[in-house]
Structure 1
């Protein structure tokens, strides 16, 4: 019985958390970060102030949770094992494209860009808690492939930036800046495949994994 009750309460807590994050995102976009109070977020989300303050005692803590939530799929999946650079990069590329196409990712970047002059700490949170952990996972994967001998990369940080940039420059940034910009799933797959081919052509060593 206790297990059932605990599971129920955990589910309710997750549901309320999702409502709070959705309300906060909408209000930050609508009113701006500064003009949005925790009390207003509680009202919009339909939860009590006590419930909201229990989960998020400050607005900064709430924004940090938004960053973590937006990049969550990145931390939940381990990088592919080293040994086949084509398969590994294809997996990473598909994950990254899927991550960037999530509506909450676009919303998060719009909030950060809009509030950057007054609240640079929001950009710092987005970069240090979201972008960089994901980047480090890709960098670590390429380093593992380098050590395995499937690629020869003198500057792993640059190679990771090149690979992710080829995907984001087509899949994400136009959608952030151009209203109504849409990319089909087929086109996304093509963009990822071409990014993989480019990196493999530049860095892969000779052998089965490079073909």
Structure 2
């Protein structure tokens, strides 16, 4: 029952945050729309900032990590698979809208600005970190700092797939262009870290 209530709260919060922004969305309104008491909501999410963070992370964790089948013996193919999953994640409309809200609202709300969103818990990002460490251990790659390599890889994808969409609401990229971005990012990481 607790899991069902949490899902209901997160669904209501997502809808209301996207509709009214962080400032104009009250916890009482979220509780009402979710069909739970304010006490139930506060028990799981003691502050609006904590609920907003959970909303963003839930939007990013909506896919099943088990559905990402990563080729273990081919470093480049594994990166392409994970890069595609990341591109799909950051192009979800609700993810873009929620991140736009974070950027727009955080200067005015210290409690939101001070939260450190634990994006590393998102299935795609966790899978990438594991994959890079495993590739290093298996001798497929020489990666002393998997976090830096991960940031480099995801940054190459986000700079073409996510950030323009975030800044320019009407901007778009074709599936073919997105695939080329992912493949070229994977090739760059292989050139830098692939085993010689």
TM-score, normalised via structure 2 length: 0.79
Q: What whole-Å deviation, never above 9, does each CA across 1:41-79 have from its counterpart, x for those lacking one?
A: 456x4x5463x6534554234313202212214673478
C-alpha separation between the residues in 1 aligned to 2:120 and 2:110?
16
Match in the other structure for 1:107: 97
Give how far 1:136 is off.
4.7
- Two-structure CA RMSD over aligned residues (Å): 3.0
Superposed CA offset, 1:101-149 (max 9, x none) = 0011111211111122233443454x432x2334454233212101100
Query: How many Å separate the matches in 2 of 1:141 and 1:120?
Result: 35
Q: Which moved more, 1:142-151 or 1:75-84?
A: 75-84
Matching of residues 111-150 of structure 1 within 5 Å: 111-125=101-115, 127-129=116-118, 131-134=119-122, 135-150=125-140
Quick check: 1:26 aligned with 2:31? no
Query: Using the alignment, how far apart are the partners of 1:141 and 1:124 within structure 2?
Result: 30
From 178, 184, 188, the equivalent of 2:168 is 178
Taking the aligned partners of 2:103 and 2:31, their CA distance within structure 1 comes to 24
Which runs of 5 or more residues in structure 2 are unaligned? none
Of 34-43 and 99-108, deviating more is 34-43
- Structure 1: 5+ residue runs without aligned partners? 1-5, 207-211
Distance in 2 (alpha carbons) for counterparts of 1:53 and 1:99: 33
CA contact (8 A) 1:56 1:62 kept: no
Preserved contact between residue 10 and residue 54 of structure 2 (Cα < 8 Å)? no
Matched length: 190
Alpha carbons of structure 1 residues 74 and 124: separation in structure 2 relative to 1, 3 Å: farther
Q: Which moved more, 1:155-164 or 1:20-29?
A: 20-29
- SS state of the match for residue 34, structure 1? coil
Partner of 2:40: 54
Question: Hey, what's the Cα distance between the residues in 2 that align with 1:26 and 1:137?
Answer: 28
Q: Which residue of 1 aligns with 2:158?
A: 168
CA separation of 1:49/1:143 partners in 2, compared to 1, >3 Å: closer, same or farther? closer
